[in-house]
Chain A
Amino acid sequence: MHLSRKSISILIVMAALITLPWWSGDLYKLHLAALIGAYWVLIGGLNLVVGYSGQLSIGHVGLLAIGAYCFTILAGTHGVHPALALAAAGGLCGLCGLLLGLPSLRLPGFYFAMATLAFALIVTEITLAQGELTGGGIGLAVPGFPAPFDTPQGSYWLILAIAALVTWLTWNVARFTWGRGLIAIRDSVVTAQAVGVPVFRAKLTVFVASGVTAGVAGALFAVLQSYITPDTFIFELGLFFFVCIIIGGRGHILGPLLGTVVLTALPELVSPLARLGTFFYGLLLLVVVLLVPEGIGRVFEVVVEYFRPRKPESHVVNPDLQRLARAIQGSSRK
């Protein structure tokens, strides 16, 4: 079987991730890896909204909270099977995405960001106010996953599988026609319209999809936290998701994934950084925005391009008219 260098590296990374519980050393690192996975489930979907279609949502923490509470209330309070509760969390947040997106996605960029901010703030207030449902400020204990996912290793593998699925799905969206249409909406709405991209409907579609992944992420996140209160879903978390994508680079899948890993793991593993806290995010964001505004994903591309053998530059445009005529004839409308 012939394997490209790309698929070999994917296989190596997957093998390393699957065997992580045996070489990570301690349970804390495993927990951290699972947390990164849960974040990525949300950020991967949000990446289609922010990184591809260029809609600046900073309020996805609200959807994360709804997913988390939905899972906890269904699986904990009402004893619904966790798998069903997980699906319900995704479905409910997809619906919330639809209801939030319908009025707000028509707004210009800045106002859309403000609408998502308002949404996140409202969700926090509701979780506080609806005491008998959410436990109010006291919060709720979150039930674990059923066997075989009830151990730290098991829940890590479950989250890894879902995160891998999200990566694959978003990668497919990005590489096919939809990806080009979304980037057209981001970089030139006029062009998007000219080729027939239904701008509002496309934005709404990815926003709903990002709602579903945010809901699923909320459920996974809740299980990892094992106890949730409104304070678990501080607004900074929403900014953090957004910053991961900006630092990773818009229009990439791998960049934001790397951004998520670095921004989650570094402050935890390097203790001096933990003391700096949000200062570290701010500094990193500043460096990236000033030095590599296209994000770390682009840095990788540039390095790869640098080492690739280059053909001599030629900018002579020399049409092949017979071939053009055949191409036009072959595709003309009947």
Chain B
Amino acid sequence: MTFAAREVTKAFGGLTALSKVSLELQPGEVHGLIGPNGSGKTTLLNLLSGYYKTDGGAITLDGADISATSVQQRANIGVARTFQKPRLLPTLSVLDNAMLGGWRDARAGFLASAFSLPAAREDEAVLRRRAEELLHGVGLSRVIGRRANLLEHAEQRFLEIARGLAQRPRFILLDEPAGGLTPAEIEHLGAIIRVMRDGGIGVLLVEHHTDFVFRVSDRVTTLDVGSVIKHGTPDEVRLDPEVIRVYLGA
């Protein structure tokens, strides 16, 4: 079971953002994606989650080409993501925001919900229990009933992860999850990422905190101006002269 970009190319007007980039994500591994600003990290993430369509190459899941599928279809086959700037529903509670992740599993249709049929109420109970457990798990139990617009920055980031996990993903794509977190919060984030990995989820970690990426990743891919310059274990990447030259510095 592999979620992969195979030689994908993406251009915006005359600017080639990605050129023949390949990346494989396995279940139960943390794959770090690093690179300077503008190297195409977020573009690759948007191609994987379906917000952008590829200009060349393919996005595959278990070998099947899913390049043409919509964002929603990818969510349905098990791809979740978080955003660089957390995208929560500001007027809803923390619990409701997490439960939104369970949309796919709510089997009751519009009319069943409107008439409050048993199917709708059962869906609701299952989703609520799952969301509560996840929120306790990521450490948001104290703010479970609070409106999302009243959350601190770190709480917003962790809530996005809980919402992603409520989707029961096989793969989760994290777009700069450590951005704006304190060192202690980054430690918690690292622990949560390891738990996700041990739970069999494939984690793609797009991040600027390279120390953090090298610490929690099993494999690391480095991008520069739209191309992969190095791919390997954290140690191989950290010591690569090209990576040091364009990104890490001496």
Within 8 A of A (CB), among B191-214: 191-192, 195-196, 198-201
Please tell me if A78 contacts chain B, counting CB pairs below 8 Å: no
* Chain A, residue nearest B157 (CB): A317
- Could you tell me the distance in whole angstroms from the C-beta of A207 to the nearest C-beta in chain B? 11
Please tell me if A236 contacts chain B, counting CB pairs below 8 Å: no
* Chain B interface helix/strand/loop/mixed: helix
> Is A327 touching B134 in the complex (CB atoms < 8 A)?
yes
> Is B168 touching A187 in the complex (CB atoms < 8 A)?
no
Binds B, one of A80-88, A153-161, A177-185: A177-185
**Which residues of the partner chain A approach B124 to less than 8 Å between Cβ atoms?**
176-177
* Chain B, residue nearest A326 (CB): B133
> Is B108 touching A193 in the complex (CB atoms < 8 A)?
no
> Is B92 touching A180 in the complex (CB atoms < 8 A)?
yes
The total number of A-B Cβ pairs within 8 Å is 165
> Is A325 touching B110 in the complex (CB atoms < 8 A)?
no
* Chain A, residue nearest B106 (CB): A177
CB contact under 8 A between A172 and B114, given known A190-B51, A317-B155, A317-B158: yes
Give the bracket for the number of chain A residues in contact with chain B: 35 or more
Within 8 A of A (CB), among B90-137: 90-92, 96, 99-104, 106, 108, 110, 113-116, 120, 123-124, 127, 130, 133-134, 136-137
> Is B201 touching A328 in the complex (CB atoms < 8 A)?
yes
Task: Give the contacting residue for B101; candidates A190, A195, A328; CB below 8 A.
Answer: A195
Task: Give the contacting residue for B49; candidates A187, A194, A318; CB below 8 A.
Answer: A194
**Which residues of the partner chain A approach B110 to less than 8 Å between Cβ atoms?**
173, 178, 205-206, 209
> Is B139 touching A320 in the complex (CB atoms < 8 A)?
yes
> Is A191 touching B89 in the complex (CB atoms < 8 A)?
yes
Give complex CA distance A190, B227 in Å. 27
A selection of 11 A-B contacts at a CB cut-off of 8 Å is A173-B114, A180-B89, A181-B100, A190-B83, A321-B137, A325-B195, A328-B134, A328-B196, A332-B168, A332-B200, A333-B168
Which A residues are within 8 Å of any B CB, using their own CB? 169-170, 172-173, 176-178, 180-181, 183-184, 187-188, 190-191, 193-199, 205-206, 209, 251, 294, 311, 314-321, 323-333
